[in-house]
Amino acid sequence: MKTELQMTFETLRIDRPHDRVMRVTLHRPENSNAINTQMGRDLVAFFEQFALSSHDQRVIVLSGAGEKAFCAGGDLKERKGMTDAQWLFQHAIFERMVRALVDCPVPLIGAINGAAYGGGCEIAATCDFLYAAEHARFALTEVTLGIMPGGGGTQTLPRAVGERRAKELILSGLPFSARDAQRWGLVNEVVPAAELSERVLQIALRIARNAPISVRQAKQAIHRGLQMSLADGLAFEIEAYNRMVPTQDRLEGVLAFNEKRAPDFRGV
């Protein structure tokens, strides 16, 4: 039974720039889109909806409100005076949030429109890939606050930039530019701020036109395979591949190629 997709949240703005593309905007502009407990809950609630169904969405874009910040990290004003128990309770929500982002079966593209610090950098790193505005900056500053990255940063950043670069950035807390992030492998493309939304939508629409089962299976094969030996990864890839053989989309793709027309993929 198909369930209704929840679209209204206190700290998120959800819109559809295209029928098959959904955009999620972190929306606490007065706080540089910092993550408070409610934003953590909202991100969990939104992304866990896709665990059982794609809801006919083929791509999700994640960005922040305004031009100053993608996400400034955890809301330290809310955290001021928290007891150990309160801190750990909040962090459990953030841990579930990270898992919901990482496990999203639909391709997730980050449109990094400004500063991505601390937890904001960690949220960005959970995306499948990132495009960033020229003025965007990144940092994992947790060690300067007496903590350490706890939203996946010690795992996602090394996978993107390598162990030695990740150690340098995490242990120092140094900020780095969008160009550095691109050069090191965290960001795929850097564009002028005024062009970011349109550039991300271009790639999102290109992905959305492809066979959705194929895209989801390929995403999973890449992500899971990197955590396996090559032999196990190859075996996993074939299991993912075999899922497409009995689909109507496979038949449609071959037929459209031979008829010299664009395919009409239905996700079946």
Q: List CB contacts of 83: < 8 A, sequence separation 6 or more.
A: none
Measured torsion, CA atoms of residues 180, 227, 207, 122, in degrees rounded to the nearest 10: -40
Report which of 127, 119, 139, 137 is spatially closest to residue 69, judged by C-alpha positions: 137
pLDDT in tens, 84-137: 999 999 999 999 999 999 999 999 999 999 999 999 999 999 999 999 999 999
User: 68-91 as b/e, with b when 16 or more CB fall inside 10 Å?
Assistant: ebbbbbbbeebbeeeeeeeeeebb
CA distance 146 to 166: 18
Residue segments in the chain with a per-residue pLDDT below the cut of 50: none
pLDDT on residue 173: 97
Locate CATH 1.10.12.10 in the chain.
212-258
Q: Which fold has domain 212-258?
A: Lyase 2-enoyl-coa Hydratase; Chain  A, domain 2 (1.10.12)
Report which of 151, 125, 147 is spatially closest to residue 138, judged by C-alpha positions: 125
pLDDT on residue 14: 97
Q: Which residues are catalytic?
A: 122, 142
Q: Which superfamily, per CATH, for 12-208?
A: 2-enoyl-CoA Hydratase; Chain A, domain 1 (3.90.226.10)
Locate CATH 3.90.226.10 in the chain.
12-208
pLDDT on residue 172: 97
pTM of the predicted model as reported, rounded to 2 decimal places:
0.93
pLDDT on residue 1: 55
pLDDT on residue 38: 98
The answer to whether the CB of 103 falls within 8 A of the CB of 53 is no
Q: Which residue has the tokens 């305004």?
A: 66
pLDDT on residue 199: 98
